[in-house]
Structure 1
Amino acid sequence: MKLHSIDTGHFKLDGGAMFGVVPKTIWQKLNPPDENNLCSWAMRCLLVEAGDRLILIDNGIGDKQDARFFGHYYLHGSGNLSRSLQSKGFQEADITDVFLTHLHFDHCGGSIRWNSDRTKFEPAFPNATYWSNEKHWQWATQPNAREKASFLKENILPIEESGHLRFLKEGEDLLPGFSVRLVHGHTESMMLPVIDYKGRKLAYCADLMPSVAHLPVPYVMAYDTRPLLSLGEKAAFLEDAMNGNWTLFFEHDPVIECCNLQRTEKGIRQAEAFDLDQWV
């Protein structure tokens, strides 16, 4: 198995929303905001080579929305999904599986693209199976008022219409060495991959812990639908990661791709931080 970090670019979100009840006097030291209180965040995905399968975990915000939509998020940086795949020697048609942690637009927007004459939508990965789970799919396609703006039908419904959609069952692995942990605090049934890699485990944190700055258990996003549940899920996840000597992979940290963990008097915190290609 071989893993690659895929850079799809950066965007901006409100710092207060990203850190929930944590005061700005504290969180601004972790990710300094601009004059509009917006912080920069990565949209970092993971590419997994496993035998004859090439699995892409999440795929960023995509490019099919209009200028008004993108104007809310201030896309920046040099990252781009297609170019990042090409830099690893691959094309969209090479992807066999698209694993979607959840269906918020910044995680699945690259799943679907316009066709060549912009008359309809089509899968951006024409030969891939797209993986979600039945509970989250129902949650996303019948959205509550709080999350409706994050579940965009043009990112989601064409997957099912194309015939490429499959559901993982609770407790089911995608393949040997690629297990899936369900968490429900951020959104219903978000899927976190835990992957056997080079004699250890790498955990893809998605929005359970979007960045290193979110390692403290109380640092829960205001976007989470069930913040108290997130607290318990984070604590349990960090204990398992610490006890199992896992490496964490961060989807949204603007700088840090991966870190190991250590126990401190303040709780479980970052130890070594490094890029995925520096894994030893």
Structure 2
Amino acid sequence: MLDPRRLRLLRDLARLGTISAVADAHRYTASAVSQQLSALEREAGAALLTRSGRRVELTPAGHVLVRHAEVVLDALEQAEAAVASAGARLSGPLRIGAFPTAVRTLLPAALVRLGQEHPDLELHVSELDPAAVPDALRERRVDVGLLHDYDVAPVDPDPALDTAALLDEPVHLAVPAGTGTASIDDARDSTWVVGSPGTLCHTVALRLCRAAGFHPRVRHHADDFTTVLALVGAGQGVAVVPRLAVPHPPADVRLVPLSTRRRTRVAFRRGSAGHPVVAAAVAALDDAARAYGSSTSTGISRSVLRW
């Protein structure tokens, strides 16, 4: 019989590439991971890994088992959800990972609803960059997490996760109040405030400028939108910001609408959609997104399409 905990380690080895990375993700020692994978090989009756010094690669049998591991782990999530659904009252931990702007705008209403409807739930919120959410879900550090991408910088769906759409929001060019800038093209000679290299916000700003035929003259890097808007208001440059980040624009900043959109989704492990705790979290976030969208007049829309 194949141990599902060991299957999870093999699946994560295929994703992360090294035993040390798997050990870090699961808070094990590298030697403990190696021992568990060796035990999995004995259970499978086949060599799953080839080792050359410190390098480890999957054998053809290992790749086959990884594909089946995804199916097995999904089925276990569904079984856990079915058992939990038999309970009369929701209780236990509910761990939510969300990016800062969502923590400030969407989560408060969702947490209030969850606390009122399910007082026995233990609510835990972790501020997470969307790029960190898939790993946090796989490693079971969170139960649901918020992701986002942009139409100009789409992110491929993760095969281990399911998602439900929450918000489709406009993106703006933030410029100092009193300036005549009315488009990205008008900002080609401006200085820019962009996210740190490697972040999605950095990529989006560069792609929008490239589409307009220029490379931005970056003066500042900032990842917190409050900081970004303060720099813009101080005349230090212009910046691309999603509407969720500026529910109340500062008086010294003007927002120029762009045609670009940002899409926010709630993600959970594949197979766990029927778990009552996950379903309660998704419903609360969905209602919070609906209320937020209807309380603004900025073109924010909501969708319940599921990938």
Query: What TM-score, normalized to structure 1?
Result: 0.23
Choose between structure 1 and 2 for higher RCO, CA contacts under 8 A separated by at least 6 residues: 2
- Which structure has greater strand proportion? 1
| Bigger Cα Rg | 2
Query: What TM-score, normalized to structure 2?
Result: 0.21
- Which structure has greater helix proportion? 2
